Amino acid sequence: MAKIPKVKCRGCGFEFSALRADCPQCGLRRTMGDTAQKVSAPARREGPREAKSSTPQRRSNWQLVIGLLLIAAAVVAVVLMMLAGRSGQAGRPIKPTPTPSPTYEPRPTPTPSPTPTVDNIKIFFLNNEITAEAGGFTMYVGDAPLTISARAYPNDKLSDARFSWRVSDNTKAQLTPSEDTQSCEVLVLASAGGYITLTVECFGVTYSVPLYIWER
């Protein structure tokens, strides 16, 4: 059986059948200068072996390139996520710190002034004391109003005390207290004689004297 001659590629050095027009390894086309050579059996076996050994190397090169691309994509994704997080925080409005509500302390309740203690009350007419023991005082029908005054004791603590005036019968006498209530005008209304009681009060303490009305 005749042996098929082989040629050696001038580009990569791969030996292939002389019947082929180009190199099966690198694809370089043959020229007229390429000469066929007889290759022994071991040489024929080496050619395919070299071709097979180069295929895994190319695969490993592609795997390396793909791995590098995946790593680069992961790095880019992480960078984009970090930038997006920072931009989200920058665009997020900052909530103002709430101002604490002012606290108001209640006003202290003023201590009420103690009620003054009245020992007694006296009634005067022109600085002359009118007493019930002495028989009170007398007025006549048709007389002009008579002004009397009152004092509460102890006087040094009750000098500005206010008084309340009244009579037992308003049809027989009319009372008109002064603005500070410490004096009062008494006007006889009765057309005939009679007897009534005049009373003055200060801080719950009262004093009464009789008022006799006479006809002229």
What are the residues whose beta carbons fall under 8 Å from the beta carbon of 39, sequence distance 6 or more? 5, 6, 15, 47
Structure tokens at 160: 């500005």
Closest CA to 137 of 208, 65, 200: 208
**Which residue reads 């040489």 in tokens?**
43
Q: What is the pLDDT of residue 27?
A: 81
What are the residues whose beta carbons fall under 8 Å from the beta carbon of 29, sequence distance 6 or more? 21, 22, 23
124, 198 contact by CB (below 8 A)? no
Q: What is the pLDDT of residue 58?
A: 66
Please give the chain's pLDDT, 216 residues, in tens. Answer: 567 788 888 888 888 888 888 888 888 887 766 555 444 444 444 444 444 445 556 667 888 888 899 999 999 988 888 888 776 665 566 667 778 777 767 777 777 667 778 889 999 998 899 999 998 999 999 889 999 999 999 876 777 889 999 999 999 999 999 999 999 999 998 787 788 999 999 988 999 999 999 987
Q: Note the pTM of the prediction, 2 decimals.
A: 0.48
Structure tokens at 99: 């101002």
Q: What is the pLDDT of residue 84?
A: 80
| Distance (Å, whole) CA 198 – CA 76 | 111
Q: What is the pLDDT of residue 111?
A: 73
